[in-house]
Structures are given as C-alpha cells and as structure tokens.
Structure 1
Amino acid sequence: MITTVVWGTGNAGRAAIRAVAAHPALDLTAVLVHNPDKVGRDAGRLAGQGRDLGVAATSDVDAVLAAGPAAVVYAASGDIRPDEALADIVRALKVGAVVVTPALYALYDHRSAPPELREPVLAAIAEGGGSLFVSGIDPGWGNDVLPLMLSGLGTTVDVIRCQEIFDYSTYDQPDSVRWLVGMGQPMDYSPPMVAPTVPTMVWGGQIRMMARALGVELDEVRETVDRRPLEATVTTSSMGDFEAGTQGALRFEVQGIVDGAPRIVIEHVTRIHPSCAPDWPCPPDGGAGAHRVIIEGAPRIEVSVEATDEGGNRSAGGNATAVGRLVGAIDWLVDAEPGLYDALDVPLRPGVGKLTTSERLTT
C-alpha cells in the first residue's frame, strides 16, 4: 500500500479524501488542515462520508512529513496564496513524496513555466527523489487528454474548443467567487482572474500542451473577456446576496492562434445565476454546470460531461473528477522515475479495483 497524505479539506480536499480511501493501492495515513476547528476530527467526517476512517486531522506539517509519506495530494488552494502553496509542495518533494496537485497553474505545462517556479521544484525533486504532477481543477482532463483523444477520432480537425460552463451559486468558495472572479462586484471592478495575461498564465499551458501533442506551431496565445451585470438581486444558499447591477456572468477565452486564426480554444462561461447572460452557452440539460469539448471538423464531434457528487452538486462533481485524475495517477508516478510530469506524460488510468461493492466506496 502507498502511504498517502491529503493536505487540505476544502472543495478539492473532501473529494481527495474519498478518492484516496477508495483506491485499492493507497493507504490514507494523514490529513493536514489549517483550521484549528478541524484538528482532531476524523477524515471521513470531514469528507462528508458519514463514517469514520480512523484518521484524525492534524495541523502538524513537520510531524506528517517526517513520517516519510510516499505520496501527498496537495489540495489546499493556490488561488490567493501561490507562494505558500509552492513552499508547501517543495517541502513535500524534499522528503521524497510523489505530489499531485491542482494548485500551481503555471506548472500545468512545466516546460513553459517561469524559472522562479520551475527551479525550486526541480531542486527539491533532485534533493528528495519525489515527483510532481499538476493538473487542473476545472477539470484538467477536459482541457488536455479528453480533447486530444477526441481529435484522434476525426478525419480532419479545424478547431478544438474546450468549455467549462458553470453556475457558481452552489460553489462554497466566497473569496474566489467574489474577489477572484468578481461576482457581485461593480462592473468597473477588475477581477484578478481575468486581468491581462492571467488567463494565459493559468490556461496557456494547456493550450501549448495540446499544440505540442497535435504537432502544430502557435503564432501566439490571445485572450478575450466579456462580462454581464445581474438584472435582479439573487440570493445564494452559501454566499448570500448578489446585488442587481453587479457582475453576474463572466465569459473568457484563451485562444491558441495557428496560421492567424483561433484553432485551440479554452473557454469559461460562469454565472452566479442562470438568468444572467442566457444567450451564452448553457449546459445541455439546463443544469448547474457541464464540461464540453467540441471538435469542429469532419466529422464534427461534441461531448458533454455532467458530473455530480455530494448529493447531486455539479461543482462537487467537477472537483471529484479532477481529483480523481490526480489521485488515479499516484501509483503510476510511484513506479516512474522521479521528475516533473504533465498531462501528456501521465496516462489516463482505468478504474482497476473500483468496480466493487466494498464499503471503501461508500460516500
């Protein structure tokens, strides 16, 4: 069994605990938390499983890493604390752990990552002998391996478009929703998530990876942004009121330009309520969220993925599939050479051992 730590118990961390506990090759040995109110609570309860897993949460990072875990799922947010997230991950790599995480956007495609991010990671891997695999929470597979797999099914490919269509009203992350994305802010507010060059920093790596896999040269990477105000005040169960006239919807694209035209596109369409920007793309069934890949070509191929978790929540479902990709890579990474890996290196894995009625899968 591969001794595995889950670091963080938020939206991604809850899914990570469930995924590790269910994985036949992994042994959940520790859960790290920052909130003192969570210290001592059982991991199963924190993950919403309604049962104990026999692992009490702790905030003692030194003790957990000193035990020499084979793997760490770093599920703490890097959105508003990228330097701290990098420092935490470097610590884990230095003890020789395989680390999987969605927290370091610029390392989705590590070949294009800035030296100040890449070099400390490579130094830690050289020192400790661990490995790092970064994949997106939006989810990463929807912006790399899935579109690439679908592109191989067609005769010709004109455009690859990857969409995340999401209703934030059920997303329990007010700092990200209000301040990073700008929902509920005045229309003259500049959301950091779509400040010039930020979308390219976050999603440009996946554009470059797809271009590399397809064997094409990019002219450049461009960004487009559009925002819409709420026409009426809406109230959410987890984050309160969002006032009329404030931002209610955000749409942006990161475009890989080939021969002067957008040919590889990652598009995000996000709302705080479905009534805002109804003319923008919506989930096929009208639900709260979907991930869609569209291959324009011969033939035209369109695939939508609608995942639910935690009682039918699509936000939780998207997190769970993203985390599943990461956790499912751990045993492959443990057997591989130490190094810095991306989505083109790490294969999609079948769910070996998961088709079972064991209580390990109870959520």
Structure 2
Amino acid sequence: MIATVVWGTGNVGRAAIRAVEAHPALKLTAVLVHNPEKAGRDAGSLAGLDYELGVAATDDIDAVLSTSPGAVVYAASGDIRPDDALADITRAIRAGTVVVSPSLYALYDQRNAPPELREPVLAAIAEGGGSLFVSGVDPGWGNDVLPLLVSGLGTTVDVIRCQEIFDYSTYDQPDSVRYLIGMGQPMDYEPPMLMATVPTMVWGGQIRLMARGLGVELDEVRETVDRRALETTVSTKTMGEFEAGTQGAVRFEVQGIVDGEPRIVIEHVTRIHESCAPDWPTPPNPSGAHRVIIEGRPRIEVTVEATDEDENRSAGGNATAVGRLVSAIDWLVDNEPGLYDALDIPLRPAVGKLARRQE
C-alpha cells in the first residue's frame, strides 16, 4: 500500500483523510496540521469520523517527510498564501513524494503556468523525483473532464458552459466569504477575488485545458462580473447576519473566445441567501449544484449534486474534488516523475471501493 500523508485538516483536508482511509491502495500514515491545538488529535476525530484511525496529527513536517511517504495530499489553503503553499509543495516533491493538491490555481493548466511558479516545481521534480497534479476544488472535474466527456455525446457543439451555483452560507470559511468574495460588504467594496484579471488568473487555466482537449485555438480569455445587493437583512446559521444593501450575490464568467465568440465558459453564481438575485440561475436544491450545459445539437444539460458531512452540499463539492485527486495517486506513483494536469490523468473508476464497502 502507498504510505500517504494528508497535509491540512480544513474543508478539503477533512475530506482527504476520509478519501485516503477508504482507498484500497493507500494507507494513511500521517496528518500534518498548522494549529498546535490539533496536534496529537486522532485523524478520525479531525475528519469527522465516528471512529479513530490510530494516526495522531503532528506539526513536525521534517519528521513526516523524513519517512519518505509515497504521497502527500496537500490540502492547506493557497488562497492567501500562494508562496507558502508553493514552498510546502516543492519541499514534499524534493523528498521524492507524489503530491496532489487544489492549492495552486495557476497549475491547473501547468503547460501555460508562469515560469516563476512552474520552474521551481520542475526543479524540485528533477532533484527529488516526485510528481505533482493540481486540480480545482470548485470542483476541477466540473470544469475539465466532465464537460469534455459530455461534449463527446453531441453531434455539434456551439458552446460549453460550466456552472457552479452555490449558497455561500454553507461554506465554512467566513473570512473568505466576507472579505475575499465580499458578501455582506458595502457595494463600493472591491472584493479581491472579483478584481479585474483575478477570475481569469484562477479559472483561466481550466478554460485553456478545455480548449486544448477540444483542439481549438483561443483568441483570448475574457471575464464579466455582476453583483447584487440584498434587499432585506438576512440571517444565516453559520455566519450571522448580512445587512440589506450589502453584497448578497455575485455572478461572473470567465470566457474562452473562439472566432470572436464566447464558446467555452466557466460561470459562477453565488449567493449568501436564496432570496437575492432570484432571476439568476438556480440549482435544484437551494444549497447548490454543478452543471454542464452543451449548447448544440442535441442540447445536453447535466446537473451534479453531491452531499457530505450531514447532507452539506458545499462539503460534497469538496469531497468529490478530493476524490478526483486521491484517486490519481496510485496512477502517479506507477508513472514517471513529472508535472501533470487533468488531461494527463485518466478517469479512475472506484475499483475495490465497492467490494470493500460490501465487506
């Protein structure tokens, strides 16, 4: 079995511990934490399981990497600490480890990543013999392999649209929701995640991946942003009140332009309450869903709902994104060291998982 480390125990890390524990080819051998209050706690408890796994969390990175684990699931945030995340990941790669992670947006499309990000990773691979695969937690499969797979069912394809429709009140990251995204802030507040070029920086790589998979050339990548204010003050279970007149919904698109038209589109429609912007696209369940729409002949629409952690749909999105990453580990271990993207990694069926569940 492949000795596997989970680095980080937040929204993604909790799901990663569960995914590694369930995978028949992997063995959870360590959990790395930053918060000293988590050190010493059993991984099962940190992952929200009702049983212990016999693996105590630690903050001793050197000790964990010195054991030469086969793989690391790097689940620590890269949103506001991209340099630190890059340093952590290259450190693990230099130890000869396969790393999978959602934390470095620019490496979704690793071939076109900026040199200041790509070159340190390639140097670490050459030095230590590890590998890296980065896929989005929004989730990546909804913006690369799923739309490409569904597009193959069509006779003609005019537009590929990938949607995330999401209720941010279910997302357990209050600072990101209020300050990165701007929910509950005055309408003249400029959220960092919505500043010009930032959506393209985050999701442009997935647009380029799809274009590459479809064999088309992009003229350019554009973005649009629309914001709506709450008409009334609303109260949420997890993050308290959001006042009337403050930002309550955001809709943006990152568009791949082909022959002058937006033909490959990633669209996010996010609300802090379902009452805001009711004319925008809505999911089958108010909490959220991911949707792929193929405009063409025939028109094809696929909506995916995932639930985890007591029917929480935001956790379900994290869990499926993690599932894609964790399922790639044994393939990466069996292949040459390198920097991989979603078009390199085959879809992995749940081999062994169904039988294990039945036991």
Shorter-normalised TM range:
over 0.9
What are the superposed Cα offsets for residues 183-230 of structure 1, whole Å, 9 maximum, x if unpaired? 111101111111111111111111111111111111100000000011
Q: Which amino acid aligns with 1:38?
A: K
Q: Which amino acid aligns with 1:275?
A: S
Unaligned runs of 5+ in 2: none
Q: Which amino acid aligns with 2:276?
A: C
- Residues 337 and 228 of structure 1: CA distance in aligned 2, closer, same or farther (over 3 Å): same
Q: Distance in 2 between matches of 1:318 and 1:269?
A: 15
**Equivalent residue, structure 1, for 2:253:** 253
Q: Distance in 1 between matches of 2:69 and 2:176?
A: 30
**Equivalent residue, structure 1, for 2:337:** 338
Q: Which amino acid aligns with 2:23?
A: H
Q: Distance in 1 between matches of 2:61 and 2:170?
A: 31
Superposed displacement of residue 287, structure 1? 2.5
**Equivalent residue, structure 2, for 1:155:** 155
Q: Distance in 1 between matches of 2:352 and 2:121?
A: 32
Q: Distance in 2 between matches of 1:79 and 1:234?
A: 27
- Residues 277 and 96 of structure 1: CA distance in aligned 2, closer, same or farther (over 3 Å): same
Q: Distance in 1 between matches of 2:14 and 2:71?
A: 17
Superposed displacement of residue 242, structure 1? 1.3
3-state DSSP of counterpart to 1:355 = helix
Q: Which amino acid aligns with 2:103?
A: A
Superposed displacement of residue 357, structure 1? 5.5
User: 1:210-225 residue pairs with structure 2 within 5 A?
Assistant: 210-225=210-225
3-state DSSP of counterpart to 1:338 = coil
Superposed displacement of residue 356, structure 1? 3.5
Report the identity percentage: 82
Q: Which amino acid aligns with 1:89?
A: I
Name the TM-score, length of structure 2 as normaliser: 0.99
What are the superposed Cα offsets for residues 10-31 of structure 1, whole Å, 9 maximum, x if unpaired? 0000000000000000000000
What are the superposed Cα offsets for residues 323-351 of structure 1, whole Å, 9 maximum, x if unpaired? 00000000000001000000000011000
What are the superposed Cα offsets for residues 88-111 of structure 1, whole Å, 9 maximum, x if unpaired? 001000001000000000000011
Q: Distance in 2 between matches of 1:145 and 1:59?
A: 35
Unaligned runs of 5+ in 1: none
Q: Distance in 1 between matches of 2:325 and 2:45?
A: 22
What is the Cα-based RMSD across aligned positions, in Å? 1.0
Number of residues of Structure 1 aligned to a counterpart in Structure 2: 359
User: 1:205-354 residue pairs with structure 2 within 5 A?
Assistant: 205-283=205-283, 285-354=284-353
**Equivalent residue, structure 2, for 1:41:** 41
3-state DSSP of counterpart to 2:99 = strand
**Equivalent residue, structure 1, for 2:196:** 196
3-state DSSP of counterpart to 1:38 = coil
Q: Distance in 1 between matches of 2:243 and 2:111?
A: 42
Superposed displacement of residue 358, structure 1? 4.1
Superposed displacement of residue 50, structure 1? 1.3
**Equivalent residue, structure 2, for 1:5:** 5
Superposed displacement of residue 37, structure 1? 1.1
- Residues 49 and 359 of structure 1: CA distance in aligned 2, closer, same or farther (over 3 Å): farther
What are the superposed Cα offsets for residues 40-59 of structure 1, whole Å, 9 maximum, x if unpaired? 11000100011100000001
Superposed displacement of residue 244, structure 1? 1.2
What are the superposed Cα offsets for residues 110-129 of structure 1, whole Å, 9 maximum, x if unpaired? 11111100000000000000
3-state DSSP of counterpart to 1:40 = coil
**Equivalent residue, structure 2, for 1:78:** 78
Q: Distance in 2 between matches of 1:201 and 1:163?
A: 18
Q: Distance in 1 between matches of 2:238 and 2:53?
A: 27
Name the TM-score, length of structure 1 as normaliser: 0.98
